[in-house]
Structure 1
Amino acid sequence: MTDRVLELLRSRPELAELAAFPFDFDVERAYHVEAVHLASGAELEPIAGDATGGTYFLCGGTAVLYASSEGDAVLIADSVTEALEMLVRLPGWCEGLSAGLDEEGLRAAVRAGDAEAREEFAPELDAQRAALIEGLGLPERPLTELFARSESAAQRTEPDHLLLNSAELCAYRLSEEYRVCLRDVVLGPGRAALGRLRSGDVGAREETDADPVLRAGVLRAAWEDRRDDDLPLLRRLLEREDAERGESYEERLVAAALVAAHGRDEDVALLRAATSGRVTDAVSAVEWAREREAKGPDAFTWVELARRQGRSAHARVELIRILDDTGPQADRLRALSRALERLGEHAQAARAQFNLLSLQDTSRDRAVEAYVLARVERARGDLVAAGRALERARAAVGIGGGDGGGRGRGRGVPDDTVAQWHRRGLGRHITEQHLELVLAAAESGDAALARATMEHARALLDRIGKESAKALTPLSGRAAWAVAAHNV
């Protein structure tokens, strides 16, 4: 359903002209300087532009996002009506608008800004404002309410309204004051549960016993807020983690470190079991706890907890922001690629993986990261890119053309790190990715890619070890039948 105010601006030229000047909301300039999309995949429609090259977008048919031509983006309103109210009553030429001002303070700032605007470019400002307000039927609200709505919208930009450059997949910037702190988001439930546990709430105890994800949050909250009298409940949490040995062993180590830091002899047996023998007495318990504390949680800690909590949108924002700020750091790129892949963000994972592949110096590392890139590209649906990645994997082990995508000495010439690639897991993994691509290409109807990839797969099956080839028999059979069934 079209927004009422937007419909009026599109159907009544005199109102559109007033919105465009002096309030700089021009529906005739409804385009952006580059292709963009929302990371969430939600609908995004450019509805107006301003004189600086910035664009107003309608998100999901309701909220309004403003993106500058310089790479900044922020949610400004929950509707076009609100956006016009703010632009008309709290125009951008008014300086000094801040949350600390009361109604009279905001009015004084607007009066001062308006006085300059009348002198410099809009002598008929008052009449223009009144005509636009009446024509659009904008409601009367206190300026403090309008300003508060604007601030509230900006603080809700993340995670659902993160804007990406469609070509490079980099995120538009957002002022730090409006950025979401993932650590605080994911620690919220744990902090609340920890408070209840400290008060002796039986229900909280049963809840954390039954919920490993909540328990992880409680442990992280206890790590952030240490208290001496927490030891009994920490022991219980450690016993629970040690007994379950569930999805994440990391929480068991966190619980062990929290208990070990107290250095009690009576905890040594429990700690020895939880740390696989690293702790043997109270002294070694304290030393081990200090080692763990020195490592501490990092950004990926909060991302993983967000994923486990079902906060995929928050995790996505954090990982994309980290990726945008990551240079040629192989370990960081690898961690980002794997984390994004686990989250199902295959396009961003491919971006990280492509950069990671360019940093590899040995043939084995190039082959490994190339077949991983192929896997990710296939998952994102870019089968041609997956085929190119597999070509690089083959080149890295000395099959076919290409330079293997490496850099530095020996580029394009396989070294001794892949001397026995076909007898190791590397050969099986590369072959497996070829067969998976055959299936995907056949399903999509890409005859040429399916045939070519199957030829490479057959050659690889002839070269890899017998056990590896045997393990891939079901997959290779399906691939062969897929090619035949699709007449490709």
Structure 2
Amino acid sequence: MTVSGHAIGLLRAQPVPAELAARSFGFDLDRAGRGEAVRLASGASLDPLAGDGAGGAYFVCGGGPVLYASAAGAAGLIGADPDEALEMLIGLPAWRDLLQLAPGAGERQLLAAVAESEKELRARVPDLDAGRSELRDALGFAERSPVELVARLHTALLRTEPGHVLLDTATGRAHGLLDPHPRTPLRETVLAPGRADLARLRDDASALPAVAEDGARRAAVLRAAQFDRRDTDLPLLRRLLAYEAAAPRAGEELRLAAVLVGLHGCAADVPLLREIGASKPAARRGTPAIPEAPAPLAAWARAADEALFGDDPARQPELTWIRLARRQGRTEHARVALLRMLDGAGTSADVLRILSAELEALGDHFQAARAQSGYAALLDKPRERALAARKLTELQRLTGDLPAAWRTLQQVAGMLDADESGRQWRRLGLGRLITAEHFELALAAARAKLTRIARESLSAGAELQSGMGKSAHRSLGMLSQEAKWAVARLIK
């Protein structure tokens, strides 16, 4: 794609200003590239714009803001569009030396930092000011103060996450941020609507249905109430608990609602809490049975609160906020937080397993497969390793990497045969699961016209199916037949 923009068009049409921009201001249109090596985590378009002599590259994201990627593996937005980015580069040619400058720096400190940053450059480019004026005139830029340009730069940098995170295409690892400035924690972003709804409900109880019937809003309100506790909230908490108990899937917020109600130690709440605890075990998971009397009830709630919740949002696991962000539709917030965790996960099998599941829930099968691959590699027991590899095959298939999926799936049977249970797994539910994956992969390969993989996966699946009991064999009949027809059509 050809990137458009008033100044970029003028630069492309005028060789002399273009050469000046490259030589003195680190913006070389002829160095545009690296587009195949990186991509945006959000999936938005990423178009090469220019490069610099230090190995860095400029890209336009989704037809709008400009992102700079350094050779050291950091990236960040530097302008709202190509023209703004180029205007900043001309006014602050040593802008990389200003990245440590705090957004709230005073004008005197800022101007001194800009002057200091340009000392070395002026030694190499004595006519820097003349070149700056010439380039501004050629591109139609007005002269702007360094104070304004630094403010624009900071605004752009702080917009990098969550929508403009750069990934290495091959490994999936995210680039670091260009600057060290603090961002708004995810917990504050996802709690903000809950706090607003909680304040509204405290003033107007009639607004409850509109809020509580939305699971994500209800969860955010309960989280807000967790960190802003008031004795007068008990009637509201009771109603939120009733909504949560009636939800099809009981989760963490049901347990939270039960604890918040229980903390009030009211006798009238004991029957309801015990009924919910009996019918919805999630309401008391990880805690003893709910007591029958108010005083022990309050003690039960305090113990559960101390063990599981508390009133400090900063002490909650990051996954709490990631899951709430996903429920609120903040997909990129959740994705970026998970990727940062994945890149720093190290060798924790449990963390990798959870991250894989969370990324799959977001629909990011590539990153889920990356986490699942790391998880599978850390397992020692053949059966556990085989189950993890089977799941990895599925994720690789959904990603579209069918050769990798077939390589992984071919190892699963051998892992299970090495288990102490021998070959009995083939006749059990596990055998059905693995056989089904063979047929799913054969179908996907046939659609992709990968004849060898389609035929080999179908053949291996048919062999596994033949050793099954009649019930399991029949349950796979339609899937196996569909795979056979797809492969047959492919061969013809």
Whether TM exceeds 0.5 here: the answer is yes
How far 1:217 sits from its partner (Å)? 0.8
Summarize the alignment of residues 356-367 of structure 1 with structure 2, pairs less than 5 Å apart.
356-367=375-386
Aligned position for 1:327: 346
Match for 1:345 among 364, 373, 383?
364
Q: Does 1:21 align with 2:23?
A: yes
Amino acid at match of 1:454: L
Return the alpha-carbon distance in structure 2 between the equivalents of residues 247 and 213 of structure 1: 13
How far 1:331 sits from its partner (Å)? 1.1
Return the alpha-carbon distance in structure 2 between the equivalents of residues 97 and 35 of structure 1: 30
Aligned position for 1:237: 240
Does structure 2 conserve the Cα–Cα contact (< 8 Å) formed by 1:362 and 1:417? no
Aligned position for 2:103: 99
How far 1:66 sits from its partner (Å)? 0.9
Does structure 1 conserve the Cα–Cα contact (< 8 Å) formed by 2:102 and 2:181? no
Aligned position for 1:407: none
Segments of 5+ residues of structure 1 without an aligned counterpart are 399-413
Summarize the alignment of residues 56-455 of structure 1 with structure 2, pairs less than 5 Å apart.
56-92=58-94, 97-103=101-107, 106-114=110-118, 117-118=121-122, 120-174=123-177, 175=179, 177=181, 179=183, 181-200=185-204, 202-203=206-207, 205-242=208-245, 244-276=246-278, 278-280=289-291, 281-282=293-294, 283-296=296-309, 297-398=316-417, 414-417=418-421, 420-455=424-459
Does structure 1 conserve the Cα–Cα contact (< 8 Å) formed by 2:356 and 2:369? yes
Return the alpha-carbon distance in structure 2 between the equivalents of residues 417 and 4 of structure 1: 70
Does structure 2 conserve the Cα–Cα contact (< 8 Å) formed by 1:422 and 1:465? no
Q: Does 1:456 align with 2:460?
A: yes
Does structure 2 conserve the Cα–Cα contact (< 8 Å) formed by 1:157 and 1:178? no
How far 1:375 sits from its partner (Å)? 0.6
Return the alpha-carbon distance in structure 1 between the equivalents of residues 33 and 435 of structure 2: 45
Return the alpha-carbon distance in structure 1 between the equivalents of residues 242 and 162 of structure 2: 36
Task: List 4+ stretches of structure 1 deviating above 6 A.
Answer: none
Return the alpha-carbon distance in structure 2 between the equivalents of residues 417 and 302 of structure 1: 41
Report the number of matched residues: 470
How far 1:434 sits from its partner (Å)? 0.6
Which deviates further from its counterpart, 325-334 or 265-274?
Answer: 265-274
Amino acid at match of 1:46: P
Does structure 2 conserve the Cα–Cα contact (< 8 Å) formed by 1:75 and 1:153? yes
How far 1:169 sits from its partner (Å)? 0.5
Does structure 1 conserve the Cα–Cα contact (< 8 Å) formed by 2:88 and 2:149? yes
Amino acid at match of 1:82: E
Which deviates further from its counterpart, 351-360 or 105-114?
Answer: 105-114
Return the alpha-carbon distance in structure 1 between the equivalents of residues 255 and 28 of structure 2: 57
Amino acid at match of 1:317: V
Please list the CA deviations of residues 218-248 of structure 1 after superposition, one character each: whole Å capped at 9, or x if unmatched. 1111112222322221111112212x23244
Does structure 2 conserve the Cα–Cα contact (< 8 Å) formed by 1:39 and 1:164? yes
Amino acid at match of 1:134: D
SS in structure 1 at match of 2:25? coil
Does structure 2 conserve the Cα–Cα contact (< 8 Å) formed by 1:34 and 1:165? no
Does structure 2 conserve the Cα–Cα contact (< 8 Å) formed by 1:162 and 1:172? yes
Amino acid at match of 2:159: R
Segments of 5+ residues of structure 2 without an aligned counterpart are 282-288, 310-315
How far 1:199 sits from its partner (Å)? 2.1
Amino acid at match of 2:71: S
Aligned position for 2:312: none
Could you say if the C-alpha distance between residues 177 and 229 of structure 1 is closer, same or farther in structure 2, counting changes exceeding 3 Å?
Answer: farther
Please list the CA deviations of residues 296-327 of structure 1 after superposition, one character each: whole Å capped at 9, or x if unmatched. 44222222222222221211111111110101
Match for 2:474 among 467, 470, 479?
470
How far 1:163 sits from its partner (Å)? 0.1
Please list the CA deviations of residues 79-132 of structure 1 after superposition, one character each: whole Å capped at 9, or x if unmatched. 1211122122233266585433455654454345445643x2221121111111
Aligned position for 1:480: 484
TM-score between the two structures when normalised by the length of structure 2: 0.89
Return the alpha-carbon distance in structure 2 between the equivalents of residues 184 and 455 of structure 1: 53
| RMSD (Å), alpha carbons | 2.3
SS in structure 1 at match of 2:242? helix
Please list the CA deviations of residues 146-180 of structure 1 after superposition, one character each: whole Å capped at 9, or x if unmatched. 32222221111112111001111100012453545
Does structure 2 conserve the Cα–Cα contact (< 8 Å) formed by 1:435 and 1:476? yes
Does structure 2 conserve the Cα–Cα contact (< 8 Å) formed by 1:253 and 1:275? no
Higher relative contact order (CA 8 A, sep 6+): 2
Return the alpha-carbon distance in structure 1 between the equivalents of residues 144 and 460 of structure 2: 68
Aligned position for 1:408: none
TM-score between the two structures when normalised by the length of structure 1: 0.90
Does structure 1 conserve the Cα–Cα contact (< 8 Å) formed by 2:263 and 2:297? no
